[in-house]
Amino acid sequence: MGILNINDLKEGMTLAADVKNKHGIPDADVEGADRDQLHQEEMKTVSPEVIAVIEKELNEIFPPVDGNELMSEIYRIVKKLKIRQVVES
Amino acid sequence: MNAKEIERIVSSLDKIPTLPAIYSKLGKLLQSPDATIAAVSNIISEDQVIAAKVLKFVNSAFYGFPQRVGSLQRAIVILGFNTIKNLVFATSVFDMFRGMDTGGAFDKKNFWKHCIGSAVASRVLAEAADLRNPDEVFTGGLLHDIGKLVVAVHYPDKYSAVVNEVQHTGTPMVESERKIFGYDHCQVGSALAAQWRFPADTAQMIGAHHLADGAVPARKDIAAVHMGNILSMALGLGSGGEKKLATVNAKAWELLGLSLSSLELVMDKIVKLYGENTEILEM
Ligand SMILES: [Fe+2]
Ligand SMILES: [Fe+2]
């Protein structure tokens, strides 16, 4: 079970509880899906070359994040947002 | 250089504007027993531009009130004196600096975006961490790099050397500033804050936002501005001129008490609020 942004909801997912709104952000608790899995889903819709370009851009501004949980998570989220921007553009 | 020397340098700079009369009047009134809602509203109404901005801000997505707040008096009732003072403060300081010419390599347009992005990010972090003063943290985020602007306005060529070195080598700005000027933008920012008699908390958020590795932030608001600055840059919301992101100070993160799993919602919210409010903030 994982807390997802409402934009990440896909057909076929089962809601474990009612969609709620916390701090103004719609959440939904989804069975059987976690964030990483969803991230993988999203990655599949973008070509590896584009992902490589995004990673290159991020590697230019990010310090090495290995071994730093927080910085790795920031990196993962920014990468996801960039991929989403590309998908939506 | 010590704080006294920096203060002397800052007070000798000739292009530093004085805060608008409305701000000091408001400060005085709020310290006196005559501070009534009507009196506060009257003072703000003396400056129609600031009054309009306060109303726009109150009606922005930051507060998310279900109904439009139509009058200043109502805004004061809802938000309280301190928040209103902060809003007046933030909008007037911001305005004073907008007209300043930096010239040289300093990218003012991206700098303002960075200020707004950091203000939004710091405020969202403050709310997520349940701080009691998210609007003060917003102001701290908005002004955290004000020292850069002040130095760039007075020494455009010398500051261009900092900007160029940072862009070519990836050196952190504070290091390059210390090498070229003998002081950094945090020191200048806090000296300026002292000269303007900013609230002490705001001055500390400005002066301590670059927590060196292993440094311990004195308070949560400082931690929020420290991290807000880094998140806004990571999210590409403008640029303060830095080439490389700093690593978030581990103690700052610990002090905020947020969980890793909440970070995605926090960052989504920053992007959303930034997108919805840049227009209001840039007007
Ligand atoms: Fe800075
Ligand atoms: Fe900054």
Cα distance between residue B121 and residue B237, in whole Å: 10
Same domain assignment for residues A19 and A51 = no
CA of B149 to the centre of ligand 2 (A): 11
CB-CB under 8 Å, B235 with A63: no
Whether A28 maps to a domain, the answer reads yes
Calculate how far, in angstroms, residue A82's C-alpha sits from the geometric centre of ligand 1.
Answer: 25
Cα(A5)–Cα(B254) distance, integer angstroms: 25
Cβ-contact B45, B88 below 8 angstroms: no
Give the pLDDT score at B249.
Answer: 95
In a domain, A40, yes or no: no
Question: Ligand 1 centre from B218 Cα, in Å?
Answer: 17
**Phi, psi angles (nearest 5°) of residue A22:** -120, 130
- Do residues A53 and A76 share a domain? yes
Does residue A81 sit within a domain?
yes
A70–B267 CB contact, under 8 Å:
no
Do B114 and B278 touch, CB atoms closer than 8 A?
no
Residue A24: the pLDDT is 44
Verify that A61 and A88 share a domain, yes or no. yes
Rounded-to-integer distance, Cα B222 and Cα B207, Å: 9
Q: Note down the domain range covering A2.
A: 1-33
Whether residue A7 is predicted with pLDDT greater than 50 in this model: the reply is no
Ranges of each domain in chain B = 18-97, 100-283
Q: How many domains does chain A have?
A: 2
SS (H, E, C) chain A: CEEEEHHHCCCCCCECCCCEEECCEEEEEECCCCHHHHHHHHHHCCCHHHHHHHHHHHHHHCCCCCCCHHHHHHHHHHHHHHHHHHHHC
The answer to whether residues A25 and A54 belong to one domain is no
Measure the N-to-C terminal CA separation of chain A; round to a whole number of Å.
30
d(CA B86, CA A80): 35
The reply to whether A12 falls in a domain is yes
> Could you tell me if residue A39 is inside a domain?
no
Distance from chain centroid for Cα B48:
23
**Contact flag A5-B268 (C-beta cutoff 8 Å):** yes
Burial B196-227 (b: 16+ CB within 10 A, else e): bebbebbbbbbbbbbbeeeeebeebbbbbbbb
Successive 10-residue mean pLDDT values, chain B, 283 residues: 86 80 87 90 90 87 88 91 84 75 85 92 97 92 93 93 95 96 95 87 94 87 98 96 95 97 97 82 57
Length of chain B: 283
pLDDT given for residue A26 in this prediction: 44
Q: How far apart are the CA of B178 and the nearest CA of chain A, in angstroms?
A: 22
- DSSP at B63: T
Q: What span, in angstroms and rounded, lies between the C-alpha atoms of B10 and B73?
A: 37
Mutate to test the interface with A, among B245, B263, B269, B274 (most CBs of A within 10 A): B245
* pTM of the full structure: 0.84
Q: Write out the residues surrounding ion ligand 2, Cβ under 5 A.
A: B 145, 229, 240
Instruction: Note the ipTM here.
Output: 0.89
Is A53 found in the same domain as A75?
A: yes
On whether both A65 and A28 belong to a single domain, the answer is no
Together in a domain, A28 and A50: no
Please, what CATH class does the domain formed by B100-283 belong to? mainly alpha
Domain membership of residue A18 (yes or no) is yes
Are B245 and A25 inside 8 Å of each other by CB? no
The strand pairing partners of A21, in sequence order, are: A26
Min Cα separation A36/chain B (Å): 12
For residue A74, name the pLDDT band (cuts at 50, 70, 90).
very high
Query: How far, in Å, is the centroid of ligand 2 from the Cα of B79?
Result: 28
A54 & A24 share domain:
no
Q: SS3 sequence, B166-217?
A: HHHHCCCHHHHHHHHHCCCHHHHHHHHHHHCCCCHHHHHHHHCCCCCCCCCC
Same-domain status, A52 and A28: no
Taking an 8 Å cut-off on Cβ atoms, the answer to whether A23 and B233 are in contact is: no
Q: Which among B233, B250, B263 has CB closest to A73?
A: B263
B245 in contact with chain A, both atoms CB, cutoff 8 A: yes
pLDDT at A87: 83
- Neighbour tally for B8: CB within 10 Å: 11
The answer to whether residue A87 sits within a structural domain is yes
Residue of B nearest to A79 (CA): B235
Regarding whether A57 and A29 lie in a shared domain, the answer is: no
**B38 CA → ligand 2 middle, Å:** 38
Residue whose C-alpha is closest to residue B250's, from B213, B208, B220: B213
A22 within some domain: yes
Domain co-membership, A58 together with A85: yes
**Confidence at A1, pLDDT banded by 50, 70, 90:** very low
pLDDT for A12 equals 47
